[in-house]
Amino acid sequence: MECRVFLTFVLSIICTLFGNGKASNYQNNMIEKEHCQTLSFEQPVTLPGCQTTYIANKACYGQCNSGISNAFNGSQSIMTCRTCYPTKMVNKTVSLQCDGNKVQNVIVGIVLFCQCRRKKCPNTVNEVTEAPKKAPTLRPPANEWFRHQMRKLRKRCRAINHHGARAICLELLKTQRKKCRKLKIRRDQRKCLDEVKQYLKKHKKERDIESGNVRRNPLDEVDNVRSRTFLGTVKERLFQ
C-alpha cells in the first residue's frame, strides 16, 4: 500500500514538471515575439530616356502578430491585425542625366524607421458587410472611357484634309459632346457618339470614291445618295 502511494506521488510530480514544460514550449513556438527591422538595399531610380541611378534605401522586414483580442464588441470578438511598415520617411531629390544633356529631378521616399503597427483587418467570417444603399453611377465628365473616345474622334476629325468637312466634323463633335456627357450609362454614350462616327465613315467613303481608290458600284448608287443626303443634313443642322 505504501509503495503504491509513493509511486503515485512520483508519477504526479513527473507529469507536472514535464507536462507544463511541454505546454510552455508549445505556446512559445506558436506565438513568437514580434520583430520589425529595416534592411538596406540599393534602389534603382530611372525615367524613360534617362540613365539609371542607384540610391541607398531601406525596406521593412519582420513578423507582427495578429489575432483575436480579449475585448468583445457585442457578441463578437474583435480581430486585431498588425504589420511591419515604415513609421518615418523623408523625401529625397535625385537628379538624373537624360538625353540632350538634360537633368531631370525625381523625388524618392526614403525609409528611416520601421515598426509593428495596427492596420485595418479584412472582413471576418462572422462579419456581415452592408450592401451599398445606392449603386454607383457613371459620371461622364470623370469617365476615362468617354474622354478617350472624344480624343480619338477629335483626332480623326482633324485628319480630314477638306477644310469645310473638317469644320463640320469638329462642330458636330462639339455638339454631341454636350449631349453625350449628360448621359449616365456607357451604352447610351456610345449610341450618342455614333452620329459622329457615321459622319466620318460617310465622308471617308465619299473621298475614296472621288479619289478613285474605290470604284463606284452601280448597285451602291442608292447608298451614295443617302450618304450625300446625310452629310447635307448634318451641315444644314449645324450651320442653320
Amino acid at 58: K
Question: Around Cβ 172, how many Cβ atoms within 10 Å?
Answer: 21
> What is the arithmetic mean of pLDDT over 93-122?
88
How buried is residue 196: exposed, middle or buried, by Cβ count under 10 Å (0-12/13-18/19+)? buried
Q: What is the pLDDT of residue 94?
A: 92
Quick: pLDDT tens for 113-133: 898 988 887 765 444 445 455
> Up-side HSE of residue 37: CA atoms within 13 Å toward CB?
3
d(CA 3, CA 63): 52
Work out the average pLDDT over 74-87: 76
Mean pLDDT of the chain: 71
pLDDT at residue 17 greater than cutoff 50: no
Q: Side-chain half-sphere of 209: how many Cα atoms within 13 Å?
A: 16
Cα-only R_g, the chain: 36
Residues 98-104, mean pLDDT to the nearest whole number: 90
Q: Which of 6-15, 120-129, 191-200, 204-213 has the highest mean pLDDT?
A: 191-200
Burial class (CB in 10 A: 0-12, 13-18, 19+), 189: buried
Task: Report phi then psi at 134, rounded to 5.
Answer: -140, 130
Q: Which residues have C-beta within 8 Å of that of residue 195, sequence separation ≥ 6?
A: 172, 176, 234
Has residue 59 got a pLDDT over 70? yes
Give the model's pLDDT for residue 77: 65
Question: In this predicted structure, what is the pLDDT of residue 29?
Answer: 46
142 vs 236, residue with greater confidence = 236
**152 or 140: whose pLDDT is higher?**
152
48-52, 98-102, 106-110, 226-230, range with the lowest pLDDT: 226-230
Q: What is the pLDDT of residue 234?
A: 56
pLDDT at 4 over 80: no
Query: Can you give the residue ranges of every domain in the chain?
Result: 32-119, 142-213
- Over residues 161-194, the pLDDT tens digits come to 877 788 888 888 888 888 887 777 778 888 888 8
What is the percentage of the chain residues whose pLDDT exceeds 70?
Answer: 60
CATH number of the domain located at residue range(s) 32-119 in this protein: 2.10.90.10
Of 86, 84, 31, nearest in space to 61 by CA:
84
Q: Where are the alpha helices (DSSP H) in 119-213?
A: 144-158, 163-180, 186-211
